Amino acid sequence: MELNEKKLEFLEEMANVIRRDIIEMLVEAGSGHSAGPLGMADIFAALYFHILNHNPKNPAWPERDRVILSNGHICPALYAALANSGYFSIEELMTLRKISSRLQGHPHRGSLPGIETTSGPLGSGLSQAIGFALAAKLDNKKYRVYCLTSDGEHQEGNTWEAIMFAGNKGTKLNNLTVIVDRNNIQIDGFTEDVMPLEPLREKYEAFKWHVIEVNGHDMEEFVAAVNEAKAIYEKPTVIIAHTIPGKGVSFMEKDYLWHGKPPTKDEARIALKELRTLQGKIKSEHE
């Protein structure tokens, strides 16, 4: 599952497409979260267009890898990845958060193909993912489970109960990979000001997890980390992905005030212009 230059360019361009979709969805909806989805676009592109064993034409395929989105508020990135990979029409993205839309403000199992769990209350996704991973072990299935979590939800006690359980050597959940969006922000400010999380790596290691830290915007680094996780046979893996909230839109980057608000129409025009410029840079870098 190595990356060649052509595939790397495609993934970077797809991440940019996802970012543009996010902006367009949010401004159309008039509500939603901006910073987190933009920051995780690279990881969603890598998952859905390179890493996952899945079939958009057969979403219920029993052998598919499972993606559990614990931090459900970043669902615009998930929806954009699903639509662009063929689970439903791209046009439907513009119904985000509207009355009777299948694209709710937090993912709802059963509403859309490709959604494995309902999420919203932070801190519960990892426990759900552990259930999927245990089920795979009991059923002798080979699918892998990927759980995306925010760093802020690591302030929830039930997250640490799940981390303790999964790290127990008796479970041997080597089919579970957790991806932490370490963007350092939450709705009230910076995580280290609200409720410090560090030393995060050492905490996971104390609970017997295999820990990898990556630049969440480096496709090659992230793909290599996922490959490394697949080679770990005695324990689950957590990939702490250091990301920039609002990535790709200069006035949103690293500003926690964008955690839970959408752009205005004027702000969206500026953001989309920046992202179109970025698209050109991606092409030139790979020529």
In tens, the pLDDT along 114-144 reads 999 999 889 899 999 999 999 999 999 999 9
Segment 218-247, tens digit of pLDDT: 999 999 999 999 999 999 999 999 999 999
5-285 under CATH 3.40.50.970, yes or no: yes
What is the distance in angstroms between the CA of the first residue and the CA of the last residue of the chain? 23
Confidence grade of residue 105 (pLDDT, cut at 50, 70, 90): very high
Helices and strands, number each (H, E), in the chain = 10, 7
Helical (H) or strand (E) element with 164: helix 157-167
**Predicted TM-score of the model (pTM):** 0.97
d(CA 241, CA 287): 28
User: Confidence band (pLDDT; 50, 70, 90) for 285?
Assistant: confident
Q: What is the pLDDT of residues 25-63, one digit of tens each?
A: 999 999 999 999 999 999 999 999 999 999 999 999 999
Quote the pLDDT of residue 121. Answer: 85
Angle (deg, nearest 10), helices 265-285 and 5-29: 180
254: left (phi over 0), alpha (psi -120 to 50) or beta: left
8 A C-beta contact, residue 87 and residue 112? yes
Q: Mean pLDDT, the chain, as a whole number?
A: 96
Stretch 203-232: mean pLDDT, rounded?
A: 97
CB 22 within 8 A of CB 97: no
Residue 262: exposure state from Cβ atoms within 10 A (0-12, 13-18, ≥19) = buried
Residue 286 confidence (pLDDT): 85
Tokens of 123: 């801190």
Please give, one letter per residue, the 3-state secondary structure of 46-89: HHHHHHCCCCCCCCCCCCCCEEEECCHHHHHHHHHHHHHHCCCC
Neighbours of 287 (CB within 10 A): 5
Q: Which of 240, 101, 219, 114 is nearest to 177 (CA)?
A: 240
Rounded to an integer, the average pLDDT of 180-205 is: 97
Asked whether the beta carbons of 79 and 96 are under 8 A apart, the reply is yes
Q: What are phi and psi of 185, to 5 degrees?
A: -125, 160
Q: Is the pLDDT of residue 258 over 70?
A: yes
Cα 50 to chain centroid distance, Å, stands at: 14
pLDDT at site 1 = 65
3-state helix, strand and coil shares in percent for the chain, rounded to the nearest 5: 50, 10, 40
C-alpha to C-alpha distances, 152 to 68, 71, 76, 90, 240, nearest whole angstrom: 17, 9, 18, 30, 13
